[in-house]
Structure 1
Amino acid sequence: MKIESLDLPVEVKHFYENSGILELYPPQAEAVEKGLLEGKNLLAAIPTASGKTLLAELAMLKSVLAGGKALYIVPLRALASEKFRRFQEFSELGIRVGISTGDYDRRDERIGINDIIVATSEKTDSLLRNETAWMQEISVVVADEVHLIDSADRGPTLEVTLAKLRKMNPSCQILALSATVGNADELAAWLDAELVESKWRPTELMEGVLFNGTFFCRDREKSVEQPTKDEAINLVLDTIKEGGQCLVFESSRKNCMGFAKKATSAVKKTLSSLEKEALAGIADEILENSETDTSSVLATCVRSGTAFHHAGLTSPLRELVEAGFRDGRIKLISSTPTLAAGLNLPARRVIIRSYRRYSSDSGMQPIPVLEYKQMAGRAGRPRLDPYGEAVLLAKSYEELVFLFEKYIEAGAEDIWSKLGTENALRTHVLSTVSNGFARTKEELMDFLEATFFAFQYSNFGLSMVVDECLNFLRQEGMLEQDPDSLISTSFGKLVSRLYIDPLSAALIAKGLRGAGTLTELTLLHLVCSTPDMRLMYMRSQDYQNINDYVMAHAEEFSKVPSPFNVVEYEWFLSEVKTSLLLMDWIHEKPENELCLKFNIGEGDIHASADIAEWIMHVTTQLARLLDLKGAKEAAELEKRIHYGAGPELIELLDIRSIGRVRARKLYEAGFKSTADLAGASPEQVAALVGPKIAERIFKQIGRRDTVPEIPDTKSFEKSSPERQRTINDF
């Protein structure tokens, strides 16, 4: 099916033809035949790199050029940024594109001026809770990676959000994009959608197992040269020799970094002098963005053509690695499975070094088939690679047979709703009542019957879980209920708008009411005791130190559980450990020191600080509404967590371009406020932070001074980077 034959505006056809897209892939043609451009709901369950995004683009462009508005929902902020950059190319068609992934208690009405809005499912949910007006104008909703409804963490939010959007805009077209799953027909039936299901790929995918130097596929075998003792490195070298790149998936960050380091000497020998020069530039950028031991290791790897990629890296570092790989400079990325979750980063060959993953419940367990298929689907770059290869590694013939049966010959599992528990449901029950989707229990049940959970389980047990949620919300003063109505209280409405788990809000209110003196530790631990906070794991060497700390500061905790209650006490110690990370952060301990002390990455520090800042913001708002003590203290801590600094630096840190390291330099030199900076000479400030930063500072405070260049400014530009401004690492 040719692009020119589609029922699209001429300018859209020209846009794609000028981009070199003249003809649709078979699954795309099937989608058009089933009503994609006629406003019909559609579920596309097709392999990675088979053109799902183009389906979304065609549906959105057809709608918005006819006066509609499109919402593109993604699971991850990084994926939102990737799609936003792509859709900005539609500006030549006169289409405005916006992205909304920020604070969860804002309506973001201004973003509604755009024709296409990209948002995470959590942000979309918050926009609905805050009754954002433009949401009612949406004509097309695209749900990317919709199979993540199966995720216990993010699935319930995506599921309820889709149900609300369908109720709010019954005529809205729903386009769901999914990996190949076992029960795609069931998911399509829930969405009242036509199903496009296919195994077709634009690039042939050869899935197989490497055993004793031979790559076994379904219908062929291939020997791989063995220049080293590591079979995975041999596969990498074989790929580079053929002009390709490799993605290697590991089960842990430690293994991920270890393999990238191990492969450096072998990969470096394959590089030309020009490639080494380009890689050195990327490595220098990495060191300019971060000064931790991990970034130093990453830079060393990159100089040799390898890299690692995991959530412990900051976003700028991950983006540098991704860009270097897309440009063909970096030959190998060793990654945790996060890289398989939606980001468009294909390679000639994908190597899955470990198909087992540790579970706290059951130890090392094989990964699901769906996860394997997602990783394997990254093999083969459309229009660039003649084929793609996905390789599992076997140590015995028995394991070879097992891997073929378990992964290569098997279909992906069915996906199941995770909405039917009190933990998953209570926040959505509150939001559904608070924004008027349901005013009685009957209306609430009617709404929930439109969820995937009710579709799969025929409402089995749902009423009982809803009753548990309503009882909790009523007892905590968030809802009022009588036989004829459900009413959200001012407390309940605020909790819903703030996008916090009602249990977290209840714990915060209880903690503020029962606290004695509110110290930094008291408030930080209160934040860390909520289910919304992501806690740090306890290592064996942590127990003694943290237990001693608890004993020395017992009066600052609202409650210390008995050590004889082993599970509760260990959870409490994890809360304290996370509190101590935040304490060190706001007292300006260097990031590398924190990474080493807590055995975490820079990205983990930022993620923990972002979540804690948000929950502290919630604490401030709840204290003000309920007239509880702590509002002032929480508001100050919120800013300190944002900047990672002491209270005396806040005024300086409100100036953009001043991070906590630069702020401390200025403060110690006597520049303690904007007034002090207003009276400073350009030379004085430039000597502390460098001429470029000094010029930016003066511009922001209303001065137009020309800052003279001073010798050796390189050190100024490598000051510790400012913390990323994010909410959750969704």
Structure 2
Amino acid sequence: MKTCEIPIPADLKEKYISSGITELYPPQADCISRGMLQGKNLLVAIPTASGKTLIAEMAMHTHIAQKGKCLYIVPLKALASEKFDEFTNKGVRVGIATGDFDRRDDLLGKNDIIVATSEKVDSLLRNSARWIQDITLLVVDEVHLVDSENRGPTLEMVIAKMCYRNPGMQVIGLSATIGNPKTLAGWLEAELVTSTWRPVDLRQGVFCNDRIHFREGERRVKAVSKNYDDINLCLDTIAEGGQCLVFVSSRRNAEAFAKRAAGAIKSGEPELKSYAERISGGAETEMAKTLALCVGQGAAFHHAGLSRAERAVVEEGFRKGYIKCISSTPTLAAGLNLPARRVIIRDYLRFSAGEGMQPIPVSEYHQMAGRAGRPRLDPYGEAVLIAKDERQVEELFECYIEAPAEEVHSKIAEPSALYTHVLSIIASGFAGTRGELASFMNRSFYVHEHRQGRLMQRAVDAALKFLIDAEMVLELGEHLGSTEFGSLVSRLYIDPRSAAMIIRALREQENYADLGLLQTICSTPDMPKLYARNADQPAIDRMIEAHETELWSPYPSDEEEIEEYYRALKTAMLLSDWTDELTDAKICERYSVGPGDIYGMVESVNWLLHASAELSRMFVPAFHPAIRDYEICMKNGIRRELLPLVKLRGIGRVRARRLFNNSLTTPDAVRAAGIEAVTKILGRGIAEQIFTQLQNAKGVPDPTSQDNMAGQSTFSQFR
């Protein structure tokens, strides 16, 4: 189908043609012939790089031309940013929502396209964002993630709620890996569009004894290294002008491979120096220094332990072709669009707690393999598994290359998933009786799959009992309603079990303690926790002894609870060190984490501190000011003595500490010292910014305001 023939808005059509898109890919044309532009629901299950984003874009612009509004759901914040960039500058207004979970974000409604994570959309529904009712098209990217134990229940409920609230809305689900697409399409009441077509031919094979074995034949690879097959495969691709992605099982393996690859590649690209300097310039940790050295030679590693800035440099260098090889954990395959000539799946076994080394899912292999081949850049793409011996070659073909992806199944019937979703359904007005609650849950993918809901009903009843006992839901006769407490918990977007734990802990204390609150928060289901190794136990025990009066949870008498107790304490220790102004490097060394891990934990605890402050306002108001101040301390990574200084915009943990150490401990003291004194401490530009604020008749901004906190980094590289 020629682009000029597509019945889409003329300005979008012109942009496609001017950018070289003169003809649609076969799956894209199939979507149009199936009624996509006439409002038909679609489930599009086609290979990676087959043009799913353009399918969604054509549908969205068609709705916008008809005065509609579009919601595009993604699983990851990084993916939201990527899609926002793709949709921007095409003649429509685009907004992005990934942040605070207790805001209605009504200004988002002024946009034609809103890109958001499923968790953010769930929060917007709970907080009654007015523009939600105006959505005429819902696009769900990576819709197969309804199968995810962590994110699946929320995605499933968001789809069900959106379809319930906007019954005439068109739904388009996008995926590359679904083993039972007809079942999912049935739930979505959607036309199924499937295809194996790819814009770049994908060759899948198994490497063994210096040869890649394909079903169509073999290809010899020059053995440059005697010991490392993965290096030989990388160098072979680079010699042909291609790039490589190497997927391994752990961060440590990713870093080790990148170091070996850097030594083998030794690229002379002059541009690499600037990329390396961008990383080394802010490098506080050994990990960052190692990454900079690797990047300078044309190799890199990529995983969640890196800071956002470091990941951004690696991604840019790879997209522009200067970085020749990235080694990564599988998170890269599920998130960003970084295709390469050859994808090497080196590790297809992964450690699972309690189970040892387990094979990765077939769907994960397909996600990784799908990154092979850059459209319009590569003549083909190759996905290569590495066998240990000849006997394993055929096994890998059968278990991965020729195996279908696993089927996706609902995870909503898991009891732990239902506490929060049952509360939100009641608090948001989707159900006001047990019958209406059962009727709503009948809309779930779970009931569609199983055709009966006995297990679901038992799990719902158990969740409802907990919510009634916790005084979050009231049952009066046939009527179900949320209490003020329950409504607050739903709007705050935390697990009701977390809220109950926090309230119980606050009520039991005579005196407030930051560490006690941290320990409580780190014990909740909402908080990701560090693993506590045997080597960590002495340090944790010393902390318990030194701060016994500040801790709110006693040492457990049940042996089965001891591990979780230590994990929560270790996590609380890291966060306490962050607010004690330890450097990233020191924290990373002490807890064996990366800057990205610190960021993730601080982001999670910030939200739970905010929730704790709101809950304390309702139940223990005497603690509210201390918790609110500690939330600001956590956001900035500062001790309480710096609170007055971080009220100033542009002043973070490093600059505030410099001022404080020079006896400038408050904004008034800064004003009294004069601009020349501050210039000597912070530099002319920052000093001028500060004194512009101080001269403002309104005075110093409120540190608790969203505007003041926006844009301030949680990390020490912000001054």
| TM class, shorter-length | over 0.9
Residues 50-449 of structure 1 mapped to structure 2, 5 A cutoff: 50-90=50-90, 93=91, 95-229=92-226, 230-268=228-266, 271-272=267-268, 275=269, 277-449=270-442
1:661 is displaced (CA, Å) by: 1.2
Letter in 1 for 2:184: L
Asked if 1 retains the 8 angstrom alpha-carbon contact of 2:520 and 2:553, the reply is no
Asked if 1 retains the 8 angstrom alpha-carbon contact of 2:516 and 2:553, the reply is no
**1:48 maps to which residue?**
48
**1:560 maps to which residue?**
554
CA distance in 2, matches of 1:228, 1:526: 52
Residues 533-612 of structure 1 mapped to structure 2, 5 A cutoff: 533-562=527-556, 565-612=558-605
1:628 is displaced (CA, Å) by: 5.0
Is the aligned partner of 1:473 residue 2:467? yes
Asked if 1 retains the 8 angstrom alpha-carbon contact of 2:333 and 2:367, the reply is yes
CA distance in 1, matches of 2:474, 2:521: 27
CA distance in 2, matches of 1:551, 1:406: 52
CA distance in 2, matches of 1:364, 1:382: 35
Q: Could you tell which deviates more after superposition, 431-440 or 396-405?
A: 396-405
Letter in 1 for 2:116: A
Letter in 2 for 1:633: A
Cα gap change, 1:548 to 1:646, in 2 (>3 Å): closer
**1:673 maps to which residue?**
666
CA distance in 2, matches of 1:697, 1:387: 56
Residues 13-52 of structure 1 mapped to structure 2, 5 A cutoff: 13-52=13-52
1:703 is displaced (CA, Å) by: 7.6
1:559 is displaced (CA, Å) by: 3.0
Cα deviations by residue, 1:573-610 (Å, 9 ceiling, x for unpaired): 11111111111110101110000000000111111111
Letter in 2 for 1:580: M
Is the aligned partner of 1:696 residue 2:659? no
CA distance in 1, matches of 2:696, 2:513: 39
* Secondary structure of residue in 2 paired with 1:653: helix
1:317 is displaced (CA, Å) by: 1.0
Asked if 2 retains the 8 angstrom alpha-carbon contact of 1:289 and 1:316, the reply is no
Asked if 2 retains the 8 angstrom alpha-carbon contact of 1:70 and 1:117, the reply is yes
Normalised by the length of structure 1, the TM-score is 0.94
Cα gap change, 1:701 to 1:209, in 2 (>3 Å): farther
Is the aligned partner of 1:519 residue 2:513? yes
**2:703 maps to which residue?**
none
**1:710 maps to which residue?**
none
Letter in 2 for 1:88: T
Cα deviations by residue, 1:40-98 (Å, 9 ceiling, x for unpaired): 110100111000000000000000122111111000000000001111121xx2x1111
CA distance in 2, matches of 1:367, 1:140: 35
CA distance in 1, matches of 2:454, 2:390: 45
Is the aligned partner of 1:686 residue 2:686? no
**1:498 maps to which residue?**
492
Asked if 1 retains the 8 angstrom alpha-carbon contact of 2:519 and 2:553, the reply is no
Asked if 2 retains the 8 angstrom alpha-carbon contact of 1:349 and 1:379, the reply is yes
CA distance in 2, matches of 1:196, 1:557: 56
1:397 is displaced (CA, Å) by: 1.3
Asked if 2 retains the 8 angstrom alpha-carbon contact of 1:513 and 1:629, the reply is no
CA distance in 2, matches of 1:2, 1:18: 14
Asked if 1 retains the 8 angstrom alpha-carbon contact of 2:523 and 2:564, the reply is no
- Which consecutive segments of 4 or more residues in structure 1 shift more than 4 A? none
Percent sequence identity is: 49
CA distance in 1, matches of 2:57, 2:395: 40
1:352 is displaced (CA, Å) by: 1.1
Q: Could you tell which deviates more after superposition, 625-634 or 422-431?
A: 625-634
**1:714 maps to which residue?**
none
* Secondary structure of residue in 2 paired with 1:672: coil
CA distance in 1, matches of 2:345, 2:222: 19
1:557 is displaced (CA, Å) by: 2.7
1:556 is displaced (CA, Å) by: 2.8
How many residue pairs end up in the alignment? 700
CA distance in 1, matches of 2:19, 2:7: 18
Cα deviations by residue, 1:163-220 (Å, 9 ceiling, x for unpaired): 0000111111101001231101110110000010111100000111110110011212
1:629 is displaced (CA, Å) by: 4.2
1:18 is displaced (CA, Å) by: 1.0
Cα gap change, 1:449 to 1:282, in 2 (>3 Å): same
Asked if 1 retains the 8 angstrom alpha-carbon contact of 2:507 and 2:620, the reply is no
Cα deviations by residue, 1:635-678 (Å, 9 ceiling, x for unpaired): 11111111110112123223333221111001111222223333
| Runs of 5+ consecutive residues of structure 2 not aligned to the other structure | 698-711
1:265 is displaced (CA, Å) by: 1.4
1:724 is displaced (CA, Å) by: 5.8
Letter in 2 for 1:723: T
Letter in 2 for 1:224: V
Letter in 2 for 1:257: E
Letter in 2 for 1:472: F
Q: Could you tell which deviates more after superposition, 344-353 or 670-679?
A: 670-679
Cα deviations by residue, 1:218-264 (Å, 9 ceiling, x for unpaired): 21210000111211111111111101111111110110111001111
